[in-house]
Each structure stands twice: as structure tokens, then as C-alpha cells.
Chains A and B, each alone.
Chain A
Amino acid sequence: MTDRGEITGVSASRKLNRRDFLKMSGAGLAGAALLGAAGCGGGSSGSGTLIFGMGPDDAQGTMAALIEKFNKQSDFKVEHQVMPADTGSYFDKLKTEFQAGTGNIDVIGGDVIWPAQLAANGWILDLSDKFPASEQQKFLEAPLNSVTYEGKVYGVPWYTDAGMLYHRIDLLEKSGYSEPPKTWDELQEMADKVTQDQGVKYGFVFQGDAYEGGVCNGLEYIWQHGGDVLDPSDPNKVIIDSPESAAGLATEASMMSSGVSPQAVSTYQEAETDAAFFQDPGNAVFARQWPYGYAYLDTKGYLKQDQVGVGPLPTEEGQDLASCLGGWDMLINAQSDMQDEAWEFIKFMTAPEQMKFRAVRATVLPTRSALLEDPEISKIPVVAQGKPAIENTHARPVSEYYSDMSLEMNEQFNAALKGDVSPEEAVSTLQESLEGIVEAGN
């Protein structure tokens, strides 16, 4: 009897403890949820901090150094919010934030192909009043074109990039060439001779995969032969279906069909080009690559600086130089409530002194024309040897539907390169589909 009483006593007290425990944990959970909700509510950055969204800093940490310098001399602080390194993922993230209507990022470091797409949706600020024509003149032409949409300026060019030709000085010398080629015919000739004489694996490597880089490469050939995608004076007119454009794509395809480039070049992106050309022992005579490639030289496992030269891409006989514009602009979020502070920061980052700092330290090319003549910057090998390329860049089609156009172009350029369609078919298909995009947009 006593046992049962004890047992019931014990179990009764245990039951109460369990109920108490459940009550406490329920109250605890509810409290935590309330706190969480309160925390979420007050999540926006406190006033006084300017958020600057941009991909990761370069290896030399120049962005962080400049932001620190700015913070010391101003009465508000700037914080670098690191965005994805891959430009596609960054754009995705940006678009998601804009669609959600959150105005967190005040200043956006944007790829040159974004301003038209963002401006058309009203997401970035028109800077025409802050950024007068007199100031605009000081910048290079193509970067300025990339931030201009429907006659208004939506950003300030920050740093630039241009497609360049890298060549192996040592291999060319051994075969008796002292100068890099000026035309594509010369390049094919030289590549053939060097690969035959010295058994180098590839003559010329470039980015032929069906992605944004492939569009850059294809457009370079089109521009170098005198063609273009959109009429420069009327962005609603598609002019890609022309004998010049077809000739350009034919030259690109001939690289593969003549054996100067490997068949796999239609799957090459930047990484594969780097591996083929820059990595020891260097399996290619020529490479088309962005200026950043130069930074590989003289590091472990890569070629030496005296083995590689850089310069403008060859062009068609009698035509101007042309290379694809890359690079980044400074944009202001239209929803930002710190627009004046944002402009102060942008003025600082795009001032000649700051651009020079980044150029000398990290080979980040400036967008101000005067800086290209600066003695210190002119000593940088990429600028010294590649200045004509930087001065002759073309912007990719400036359109609010550039993403759709890019998808169409990368498919057709890749098909023409592989020989699945003839260059004439490719440009006429593109004419139709790009016209459809422009029409659908209007």
C-alpha cells in the first residue's frame, strides 16, 4: 500500500514536472519568436552608414584601403557589402532585392551591361543633373556609352576592361617573328608556322563557349569586320544581318576549321583559356583574354613576364581596331535615402587620385582618358602595350532586354563557331530574333 502511495506520489510529482516543463518551453519558444520578429523588424542599417554593394575585393585589397581612407575624412561611414564574385549570380541577387523593394544597398558597383536593364525598370537614379556633360567628357567614350540610356546618364564609369591579344614573345622569336600580328590572316600564318616548327599544342585559344564571354568574343570579330548589332544612331534598329557581320563570324569559325584553335575551343571559358596559355609550360602561341591575365605572370606555376607580350587584337585588313568593353560602373539605388551621401562617395571613388591608386596597385584600368597618359600608369605593361585596345572598345548592345539578346547571341555565335550553321544563317536568325525582342519590348 505504502509502495503504491509512494509510486503514485513519485509519478504524480513527475507528471506535474512534465507539465511545468511544457509550459516553460512553450513560453520560451513564444518569447524567442517575439524577439526574432522584433529583431527582423529593425533590421535595416542604421542611418549614417552607406552600403556599397560590390563583388569581392582584389588580391591587393585596394577597395578596402580606399573605403577606409574615405571613412576617415567624411562624417558618415561606408560599408562594403560583399556580393557574389560571379557576375551572373550578383545580377540575380540584385534583381531579387529590387523586385522585393528593399532599398538596402545605396551605391551599386555594376557590370557595364546592367545600367540599361536596371534603368528601364526605374531601379537606379538618373544622374544627369549631378554628372554634367563637362565632367562626362573626361571619361572614355565606350564606358560612358554603357551608362547612357535613352539620352540620360545613369552611372559613373569606374574601371574598364578590354579584350586583348596575348602572344608568346619567346616562341615567335624562335620562328623569326619580332612583332605580334596586325591582321587575322597574319595571326593564322604565324600560329601555323610556330606550331609546326616547335610542336606547340595550340595556335590560338579564346572563349568560344555559349555564354556571355562567347558573346564578347563573337562581337569583337563582328566589329573588327565593320558590322554591328544595333544601329549606333537608333538603338531600336537591328543591323546585325550584314555581309560584314557574317564575315566576322566566318573568321571566328575559320580559327577552328583551319586547326589554329582546338576543337574544344567551343567549350572554353576564361578558366580554360588561362590553363592553356598562362600555365606552365604554356601550350598556346596566342590567346584572347582580358587584362587580368597579366597578373598570372611571374607567379608560381605560370609563365614569366618576359615570355609574354600583350596588345590589341588583330583586325581585318583596313578596318579599325575593336575590342569588347568590360568593366564596372558606379550606380545609385533609386530607393536609397542617402542619395547625396552616395554621390559624395562616388565622386571620391571615381576621382583621378583614387583611380590611379587602384591602377598602380592592382592593374585596375581607369576610365578617365587623361589618366591613360599619366607616366606612372603608362608604365604598367598592360597599358603600355595595350593602350590602343583600351581606347578602341565598343560597348555591347545597350538595351533593357540585353539579357534576352545575350541568350540568343551566345547560342548563334557558338553554333556558327562549331559549324552547325553557316555565318550567314546565324546572322539572319539573329536579325529575326533580336528584332522580335526589340518589338516585344516596345
Chain B
Amino acid sequence: MTSATSEKKRRGGWFREEFGNPERRLAYYMVLPAVLIIVIIAFFPIAYSVVLSVTDSTITGMGSFVGVENYVEMFKNPDFLEGLKNTVIFTVGSVALEFVIGLGVALAVNRAFRGRGLVRAAVLVPWAFPTVISAVMWRLMFQDPIGIINETANALGIISQPILSDATLLLIACILVDVWKTMPFMALLLLAGLQTIPGEVYEAARVDGANVMQRFFRITLPLLKGTILVAVLFRTLDAYRVYDLFWVLSSEQLESLSTFVFKSVRISQLLFAQGNAAAVFIFVTAFIIALIFIRIFGMQTGTEE
């Protein structure tokens, strides 16, 4: 009883504490304009999108309320399901590969050697290109009459058809291009994390007789957990929203969630409301992914213990 009433008093007390105090109230008033602007710019479009997704609007005008019909239609739409499948496979595949390769590069660059600064800069070069440019460049390498990768793969007998005309091969190509492009980002984030691990820990482990594998799995990985989660969350959310890479590399053939939204909202006349529903779906699922990382994997979002 005492705890309950003291809880209530604490809650009531917080409110009175914040708004009863004239100085703190002034602080809230001063922050209000900035908060309003953020709400209008950031939240209004999202709210409007949600509203559009529960009506049958078209590009020419607002429609009437239809409940969850758009969402039901969307889940029955084969293009949407294909986009969802491609996006999920792409996300899992590219983030996993980027992580493994990025960690390797970070470990290699972690020890001081001559020319390390230069190597670090060189590793960053793919990341520096705009995605559209790299996509066009790689598409030329995959294309049938002139692409070197296509020629080599066909000559070696690994595949027997043009890479760009098969959906599976296209997806694999997109994953590889994305790994090429964003592995440096992973590597640099993980490198920053590696450099916070003090050298004494390794010395002590070596004295205790731990071998390389044990040092890696028992010391490096656990101490790196925070950095790994941050890097993997960023990359997962980025890969989930893939659009320009798919659109340009496959010349609009490969569907992803974002290309589905674009086609439905900009090109099609009839799927406008469904496109909005898909956009809301992307927003909600991305939110859930972030929540999973924070709650379940225990990603730290601040300095609280």
C-alpha cells in the first residue's frame, strides 16, 4: 500500500514537478516551436500515408474509407510477395556476408603496420561511389555481349545463361554488389569498436594460455557486442529499404518492397492506395526490426546501465 501510494505520488509528482515549476514550464514553451516543426515535417507525412492507406484514394483525389481492404489486397498481390521475398533474402544475405567479411578486414587492419592509413582509405573507395553509379558500372560488367563477369562465368561453365535474364542470378548479383559497396562501412564501424578493447586483456589471456580461437570467441566478440549490434542494425534497416540498386542493376526487372511502392504510387493508376499500404508496411516492419534489436538482443541505446 505504501509503495502504491508512493508510486502514484511519484507519478503525480513528476507532472507537477515539470509543469508546476515556472522555470521548467518556460523551458517547455521554448522547445515547443522546434518540436512542432519536427512533428509536422516528420510525423505528418507518415500519418497522411496511413490515412491514405485505409481509403481508396487515387492520385486525383481522396477516396472513401475502406478499412483494411488495401492491406488484404496487398498481401494477395504476387508482385508484393515477390518483392517481400527478394527483400528479405537480400537483407539477410548481404548483411551476413558484409558482417563476416567486414569483421575480417577490421581484424586485419587493427594491428599497426606501415601503410595502414592508406589501406584504410583505399578500403573506403567503393563506399564513396553513389549507388546509382556503381549499379550502372556493375550492370555493364554483367551484361551479355560486353560484360566481363558474364563472359568469364559462362566460359568457366558456372552458369549457362546471361546473368541479367535470370531472376535468381540477378538477386545474387545484387547481393554481391551490395557487399562490395557497403562492406567498408561495416569494417570501419567494427574497427572503431575493436580499438576500444584494451590490449592488456589480450596479454592476460595469452599469459593464461588462450589460443587464437579462444581469444577471438571469448574476448573479442563479447567485448565487441555493442558495436556489432549497432552496425548490423544500421545495415539491416538500410538493406531492407533497397531501391536504387535493384532498380538500376536489373533495369527495373527485380522487385523489392520499395520498388513495389514506387511502381504502385507513381506508375500505376489503380494501385495508388495499395502502394501507400505497402509504404506503411515497410515503416511498421522496420520499426519492429529496430525494436527487436534493442529489446531482445539488448542493444544499448545510451549510457544507462
Contact = CB atoms under 8 A, between A and B. Distances in A.
Nearest to A121: B60
A88 B252 CA distance: 12
A99 interface: yes
A209 B251 contact: yes
Given A99-B59, A283-B145, 9 more contacts: A117-B269, A209-B251, A263-B162, A263-B165, A266-B162, A267-B143, A267-B165, A272-B145, A275-B145
B266 A267 contact: no
The 7 closest A-B pairs by CB, nearest first: A264-B144, A264-B162, A267-B164, A266-B165, A404-B268, A440-B270, A401-B269
B267 interface: yes
Contacts of A95: 59
Interface string B93-129: 0000000000000000000000000000000000000
Interface of B: 59-60, 143-145, 161-162, 164-165, 251-253, 263, 266-271
Interface string A401-420: 10110010000001000100
19 contacts: A88-B267, A117-B269, A121-B60, A209-B251, A211-B251, A262-B144, A262-B162, A263-B144, A263-B162, A264-B162, A264-B164, A266-B162, A266-B165, A267-B165, A275-B145, A403-B267, A407-B263, A418-B165, A437-B270
A99 B251 CA distance: 27
A355 B164 CA distance: 41
A252 interface: no
Interface in A379-415: 400-401, 403-404, 407, 414
A269 B251 contact: yes
Nearest to B144: A264
Indicate the member of B161, B252, B263, B268 with the most A CB atoms within 10 Å: B268
Contacts of B253: 209-210, 267, 414
A248 B144 CA distance: 26
Contacts of B60: 99, 121
A92 B266 contact: yes
A276 interface: yes
A268 B170 CA distance: 15
Given A209-B251, A404-B271, A407-B267, A276 B59 contact: no
Given A263-B165, A407-B268, A211 B252 contact: yes
Nearest to A269: B251
Interface of A: 88, 92, 95, 99, 117, 121, 209-211, 262-264, 266-267, 269, 272, 275-276, 283, 400-401, 403-404, 407, 414, 418, 437, 440-441
A272 B147 CA distance: 12
B112 to A, nearest CB: 46
Nearest to B251: A209
A99 B61 CA distance: 9
B270 A401 contact: yes
A403 B266 CA distance: 10
Nearest to B266: A92
Contacts of B269: 117, 400-401, 403-404, 441
A121 to B, nearest CB: 5
A356 B122 CA distance: 58
B162 A267 contact: yes
Contacts of A437: 270
Contacts of B162: 262-264, 266-267
Contacts of A210: 252-253
Given A275-B145, A403-B269, A440-B270, A263 B251 contact: no
Nearest to A276: B145
Indicate the member of B60, B145, B252, B266 with the most A CB atoms within 10 Å: B145
A379 B274 CA distance: 53
A112 to B, nearest CB: 17
Nearest to B252: A211
Contacts of B263: 407
A441 B270 contact: yes
A441 B60 CA distance: 14
Nearest to A95: B59
Contacts of B145: 262, 264, 272, 275-276, 283
Nearest to B160: A263
Nearest to B150: A264
A115 to B, nearest CB: 14
Contacts of B165: 263-264, 266-267, 418
A264 B143 contact: yes
Given A263-B165, A267-B164, A267-B165, A403 B59 contact: no
Nearest to A441: B270
